[in-house]
Chain A
């Protein structure tokens, strides 16, 4: 901020208008940034209770529940084969799963899709973490876990105590989830 004020003092005579516009735009951008951050971070702390009562089919047709995730660190990833931004994240989650599977971390994929598409995608990308699929109820579950927009990709990290540690809407930068779960591993 001090820099900005110095600049203002220097240029205000000649470029008042341009500067005003710049400042307004910066403020708008900052506001937008806060707004986006708010969408993720300012959610009321919540638990993953909705997940424990949910039930979806896996690609073999078996009905799955997720109570087995209780007491573990869970990374729940909502995605779909029709979701372009989701497609490049699947390999990242596979790597995460392969790295932490023996360290009390579970990765679960919930696809808003049909069985055939999911099977094809899993085979093509050689995904190894458990994946279930569902339609509207999958979107509802994601909303109950704090996905206010109902968009995907949406990722939730759940702590061993069943509390939601982090929610990420949109692209997850490589390494971000790892950064979140690392401190949780020891506890």
Chain B
């Protein structure tokens, strides 16, 4: 390699240029690479302008190509160099995580032959779970960069790196591949290299150790059922609701687990995982007491925690027959209690109302109607059980509470419940979206077996985003068990949920004790309408965690507008009825469509792109900072990116809080630099602080013209103090802060 690094002009060029010389065997690979290179051309051009040699040359094999990359183009005075090993895999091929799972091998690096290198530590971005015929493997597809922290022996001197990278790549066959990579970084000022952004993007995918990720892993317990060992893990997410959490388990010596069964609780803020052990344990032994490393992944967020497995307590170790019976009882009881939860209560109210309306109906008719509702409940729950069994046998992870991921579902239910409330209040007599007229119409009249059956299914539907005491335990048990357990538990749940209807079917004569129709019925309708409206409010209150407050307020407003539109005819009889209804329909559809429109980044829900803060950010312009400061202004710079997890939690926990956002918006010029895509201006701004990654927050002002660099993990205190100091007002504004500041220094 010589002294100077071999300049690779840019990713795209490097691939395209050398593909000319490929052998025929490589041609198919090369074609797709040329296409790929074409898409990278703009990037390559921008990189070419920089002409920095911060990446080694691509080494290409049949199914994988690799190179070394660096966030800096020269070594500067850095004791640790931010490097990475980039792999690009051919379509359909994968390579593996440090714990590959039921098959696979982790990458192995050998740095022998490098000069001025003391040590190099590889880290692993969060992997994907690949499930194939119940085989669980963990790894990467398409592209991955393994970040490397390389300690240099003599800072300030050039570094010549040689890495022999052994990776296993698999598709329909597995091929162990060995690649010899090289990269030379000359001495000199450490300017950011062209790949600083790429490297940082993958660095931000490395699971965070500790609680900075926004979630915490609780106790890890093991228990045994029928000689089968399971691991139970619970986790709490404070900054947001879980969307599709997964947990990866590493034990030493290795043990294999099936895909976790996930159940969400606490409005989606808690996730409980049950993982079946699929490898063998010596008879009579248990997993209790063993050290374990857990990696919890939810969308873009990942955390890693080492802990010890505790012996499970409670019924987990009991005999299976009594345990099954206990869980059956739990499910039954849970089903009964579900009727009293705000989500299902309206259905019971509706049915009771129909009883009141038809107090004079013959008992046989009442019995048939209530039995039909009960059958609807049980049937729909068995349908859910069937779907869960199918998903489970397909090797997918299943769970209760998945609906929390679906703001559209919640908004739709809220709209329907609000419609029922309006009906109760007499805003309109018949609910007429034609598809539900069948059951909605009969909800009022109490007639029709199909209508009553459908209303039972509706009760089940309303119950799904809801949980009640015992329900979670029983469902968790069912999902961890076999087909029979799932059917049994869901049947019990159905019977429990249907119990009030079954009771009335058993004693239909209760209808006779209902007083004669009169004013009290109108009042009762009003009260039940209020209960329904309350349910709608409760449903809407789940939404902020998913779509943010602004969108939630919009949904609430649209539902309110729908109610007003429906009421318009009753309030102002001159208005044509259809106009109110048409407007209501539009509002209802808008309320449901709004969360749908907001689902831009499905992987991370509302977290990734959308910033719900109130600060009016201006686009980052480094040249402006100086002149703004000379005018006596304070500038707050936030460098962020959609893929930067810590940036998102900084926004959520600090920047967008009321206190901080008011201060930033009120007394500073807020500038935001978006590094979601590579931007050499931002890279060089970062490097001026000796940073090659984000988050990065700096406050400039008359009191700090050179800027105050804030810690990566922001605290409210740190931001407020820095703003005060930069604006030169620290003494007057907050004596407490000033004192603490002095204590700190």
Q: Is B616 an interface residue (CB 8 A)?
A: no
In the assembled complex, B391 has its CB within 8 A of some CB on chain A? no
Contact A139 B176 (CB under 8 A): yes
Give A86 to B102 CA distance when docked, in angstroms. 12
**B442 lies within 8 A of chain A by Cβ:** no
Q: Report the separation of the CA atoms of residues A63 and B13 in the bound assembly, to the nearest whole angstrom.
A: 51
A84 near B280 (CB under 8 angstroms)? no
Q: Which of A4-12, A46-54, A66-74, A144-152 contacts B (4 or more CB under 8 A)?
A: A144-152
Q: Which residues of B contact A153 (CB under 8 A)?
A: 173-174
| A-binding segment of B132-140, B193-201, B641-649, B702-710 | B132-140
A22 part of interface (Cβ distance < 8 Å)? no
Residues on B with C-beta less than 8 A from A151 are 173-175
Which A residues lie within 8 Å of B28 (CB)?
Answer: 32, 35
Contacts of B176 in A (CB 8 A): 112, 139, 150
Partner of B173, one of A32, A82, A85, A88: A85
Give the residues in chain A near B49, CB-CB below 8 Å. Answer: none
Q: Interface 1/0s, chain A 118-161, versus B by CB < 8 A? A: 00000010000000000000010000000001111110000000
A37-53: contact bitstring with B at CB < 8 Å (1 yes, 0 no)?
Answer: 00000000000000000
Tell me, in angstroms, the Cα distance from A139 to B178 when the chains sit together: 13
**Contact B103–A83 (Cβ < 8 Å):** yes
A170 interfacial contact with B, CB 8 Å:
yes
Q: Does B62 contact A (CB under 8 A)?
A: yes
Residue A178, interface by CB 8 Å: no
A84 touches B104 (CB 8 A): yes
Contacts of A112 in B (CB 8 A): 176
Contacts of A84 in B (CB 8 A): 102-104, 132, 135, 137, 170, 174
Per-residue 0/1 for B672-709: is the Cβ within 8 Å of any A Cβ (1 yes, 0 no)? 00000000000000000000000000000000000000
In contact, A85 and B170 (Cβ under 8 angstroms): yes
A80 B133 Cβ-Cβ under 8 A: no
Range of interface residues on A (Cβ < 8 Å): 20 to 34
Q: How far is the CB of B467 from chain A (nearest CB, A)?
A: 37
A82: B residues at CB distance < 8 A: 100, 103-105, 168, 174
Q: Which of B588-608 contact A (CB under 8 A)?
A: none
| B172 close to A (CB within 8 Å) | yes
CB of A87 within 8 Å of the partner chain? yes
A171 interface contact, C-beta 8 A: yes
B174 touches A86 (CB 8 A): yes
8 Å CB contacts to A: which residues of B119-152? 132-133, 135, 137
B115 to A: closest C-beta gap in Å:
27
Task: Tell me how many residues of B have a C-beta within 8 Å of chain A.
Answer: 19
B280 lies within 8 A of A83 (CB): no
Interface flags for B406-435 (1: CB within 8 Å of A; 0: not) read 000000000000000000000000000000
Of B28, B137, B176, which is in contact with the most chain A CB atoms at under 10 Å from its CB? B176
A82-B104, A82-B105, A82-B168 known; A87-B135 Cβ under 8 A: yes
CA distance A148 to B665 in the complex (A): 64
**Is A55 on the interface with B (CB-CB < 8 A)?**
no
Interface centre among B103, B132, B168, B173 (most CB of A within 10 A): B173
Instruction: Please give the distance in Å from A35's CB to the nearest CB on chain B.
Output: 8
CB neighbours of B104 from chain A (8 A):
82, 84
Known: A84-B132, A87-B135. A170 touches B172 (CB 8 A): yes
> Of all chain A residues, which has the CB nearest B169?
A151
CA distance A32 to B132 in the complex (A): 25
Instruction: Report if A170-B173 is in contact (Cβ < 8 Å); known contacts: A32-B28, A84-B137.
Output: yes
Residue of A whose beta carbon sits closest to that of B94: A84
Which of A32, A35, A80, A124 sits near B174, CB closer than 8 Å? A80
Cα–Cα distance between A82 and B100 once the two chains are bound (Å): 9
* B174 A83 Cβ-Cβ under 8 A: yes
> Which residues, 272 to 292 on B, are CB-close (under 8 Å) to A?
280
Q: Known contacts A84-B102, A84-B103; decide if A149 and B174 are in contact (CB<8 Å).
A: no
The docked-state distance in angstroms from the alpha carbon of A88 to that of B102 is 12
B27 CB, min distance to chain A CBs, angstroms: 10
Minimum C-beta distance from B436 to chain A (A): 42
Q: A152 — which chain B residues lie within 8 A by C-beta?
A: 173-175
Contact indicator B103/A81 (Cβ below 8 Å): yes
A63 to chain B: closest CB distance in Å? 24
Residues in A with CB closer than 8 Å to B62 are 149
Once the chains are docked, how many angstroms separate the CA of A88 from the CA of B103? 12
Q: Which residue of A lies closest to B31 (CB)?
A: A28
Also in contact, A150 and B172, with CB within 8 A (given A81-B103, A84-B135): no
Q: Which chain A residues lie closer than 8 Å to B100 at the CB level?
A: 82
- Interface positions, chain B 388-413, Cβ under 8 Å from A, are none
Whole-angstrom distance between the Cβ of B737 and the nearest chain A Cβ: 57
A150 (CB) vs chain B CBs: closest residue: B175
A85 in contact with B168 given A32-B28, A149-B62 (CB within 8 Å): no
Residues 69-110 of chain A, each 1 if its beta carbon lies under 8 Å from chain B, else 0:
000000000001111111110000000000000000000000
A171 to B174 alpha-carbon distance, docked (Å): 11
Residues in B whose Cβ lies below 8 Å from that of A88: 133
Residues of B within 8 A of A81 (CB): 103
Residue in B closest to A116 when the chains form the complex, CB atoms = B253
The answer to whether A87 touches B103 (Cβ under 8 A) is yes
Instruction: Looking at the assembled complex, report how far the CB atom of B213 sits from the nearest CB atom of chain A, in whole angstroms.
Output: 30
Inside 8 A of A150's CB, which chain B residues have their CB?
175-176
Taken residue by residue from 147 to 170, chain B's Cβ proximity to chain A (1 for < 8 Å, 0 otherwise) reads as 000000000000000000000101
Q: Do the beta carbons of A169 and B173 come within 8 Å of each other?
A: yes
A84-B102, A84-B132, A112-B176 given as contacts; is B280 within 8 A of A124 (CB)?
A: yes
Q: Chain A residues near B102: list those with CB within 8 A.
A: 84, 87
Question: How far does the alpha carbon of A134 sit from the alpha carbon of B139 in the complex, in Å?
Answer: 25
**Residues of B contacting A124 with CB < 8 Å?**
280
The docked-state distance in angstroms from the alpha carbon of A84 to that of B93 is 12
Q: Which residue of B lies closest to A79 (CB)?
A: B174
Decide: B174 and A85 in contact? CB cutoff 8 A. yes
A39 to B356, CA, bound (A): 79
A126 to B135 CA separation, bound complex (whole angstroms): 19
Report the bound CA distance from A150 to B173 in whole Å.
10
The residue of chain B having its C-beta at the shortest distance from the C-beta of A85 within the complex is B172
B residues near A149, Cβ cutoff 8 Å: 62, 173, 175
A73 to chain B minimum Cβ distance, whole angstroms, is 24
Inter-chain contacts of B173 with A (CB < 8 A): 83, 85, 149, 151-154, 169-170
* Contact call B168/A171, Cβ cutoff below 8 A: no
User: What's the least CB distance linking B169 to chain A, in Å?
Assistant: 9
CA distance A81 to B104 in the complex (A): 8
Residue contacts A-B, CB under 8 angstroms, 17 given:
A32-B28, A80-B174, A82-B100, A82-B105, A84-B102, A84-B137, A84-B170, A84-B174, A85-B172, A85-B173, A88-B133, A149-B173, A151-B173, A152-B173, A152-B174, A152-B175, A153-B173
Chain B residues with a Cβ under 8 A of chain A:
28, 62, 100, 102-105, 132-133, 135, 137, 168, 170, 172-176, 280
Rank and list the top 4 A-B pairs by shortest CB-CB distance, nearest first. A151-B175, A151-B173, A84-B103, A83-B174
17 new A-B contacts at CB < 8 Å, known A84-B174, A85-B174, A170-B172? A35-B28, A82-B100, A82-B104, A82-B105, A82-B174, A83-B173, A84-B102, A85-B170, A87-B103, A87-B135, A112-B176, A149-B62, A151-B174, A153-B173, A153-B174, A154-B173, A170-B173
